[in-house]
């Protein structure tokens, strides 16, 4: 299996056009392509820069000529879960007609869309990319190729990967930024390339505050990693 991570700009996509005009982003939760009707049904999370941006974005989305249906499932402040039906775009049709398939959720913001697309062989990949170039703007950001054994291992251990990801997502914005900066500046190298005092100066906080943020980050990530390891061990025993 060939898996592509594609940064895409479609010129006939309601979601992309909406994020061009309004500070709103969309993340897919569920999708279903009806090839006979040439329509795509989706459940998405819409997040506006503000409550007003969310309202403006949903109004803009509903008025798009390629939008067949758009309704709110739930809403809280600047975030909403929505259901939509849109006309099949050129990119969707191209991927489907060349035996490609969607392998993961997509996210749309700032007039661009992140797609995860799979192919069974190089010929299907080459045909699709050549045709996509005629009516869309895209960049292949990453390409992976998996043999059956590797793919089976990924699928078998997807729960462990999700657990680790949840541990990372549990970090607050401050914890994540502190942890990333410390790692990038060599705090975890031996010998260390930066100190708590230097990190404190960078964030304009006390050394105690930096230390606490790092400890919270490390604890959350470690707990996620340990849970994932337990699940991996359980899978191995099975």
Q: Name the burial class of residue 112, with classes exposed (0-12), middle (13-18) and buried (19+) by CB atoms within 10 angstroms of its CB.
A: middle
Statement: residue 109 has pLDDT above 70: yes
Statement: residue 221 has pLDDT above 60: yes
pTM of the model: 0.63
Q: What is the pLDDT of residues 72-94, one digit of tens each?
A: 999 999 999 999 999 889 998 99
Statement: residue 229 has pLDDT above 80: no
| Beta-carbon contacts of residue 42 (< 8 Å; ≥ 6 apart) | 28, 29, 30, 31, 32, 83, 84, 85, 86
Cα–Cα nearest to 61, from 28, 114, 17, 91? 17
Q: How confident is the model at residue 103 (pLDDT cuts 50, 70, 90)?
A: confident
Q: Are the C-beta atoms of 70 and 47 separated by less than 8 Å?
A: no
Q: How confident is the model at residue 200 (pLDDT cuts 50, 70, 90)?
A: very high
| Domains of the chain from N-terminus onward | 2-145 (no CATH), 152-237 (1.10.10)
- Position 223 scores a pLDDT of 85
User: Three-class SS of residue 151?
Assistant: helix
Q: How confident is the model at residue 56 (pLDDT cuts 50, 70, 90)?
A: very high
- Both tokens of residue 63? 């008025």
């Amino acid at each position: 299996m060939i898996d592509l991570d594609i940064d895409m700009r479609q010129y006939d996509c309601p979601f992309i056009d909406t994020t061009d005009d309004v500070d709103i982003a969309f993340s897919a939760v569920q999708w279903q392509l009806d090839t006979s009707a040439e329509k795509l049904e989706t459940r998405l999370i819409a997040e506006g820069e503000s409550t007003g941006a969310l309202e403006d974005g949903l109004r803009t989305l509903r008025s798009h000529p390629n939008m067949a249906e758009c309704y709110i499932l739930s809403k809280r402040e600047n975030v909403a879960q929505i259901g939509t039906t849109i006309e099949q775009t050129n990119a969707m049709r191209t991927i489907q007609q060349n035996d490609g398939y969607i392998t993961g959720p997509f996210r749309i913001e700032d007039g661009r869309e992140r797609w995860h697309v799979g192919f069974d062989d190089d010929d299907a990949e080459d045909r699709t990319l050549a045709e996509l170039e005629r009516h869309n703007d895209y960049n292949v950001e990453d390409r992976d190729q998996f043999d059956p054994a590797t793919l089976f291992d990924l699928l078998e251990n997807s729960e462990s990967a999700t657990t680790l990801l949840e541990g990372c997502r549990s970090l607050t914005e401050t914890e994540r930024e502190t942890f990333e900066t410390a790692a990038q500046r060599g705090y975890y190298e031996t010998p260390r390339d930066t100190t708590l005092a230097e990190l404190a100066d960078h964030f304009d906080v006390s050394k105690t505050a930096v230390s606490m943020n790092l400890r919270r980050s490390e604890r959350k990530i470690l707990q996620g990693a340990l849970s994932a390891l337990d699940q991996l061990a359980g899978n191995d025993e099975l």
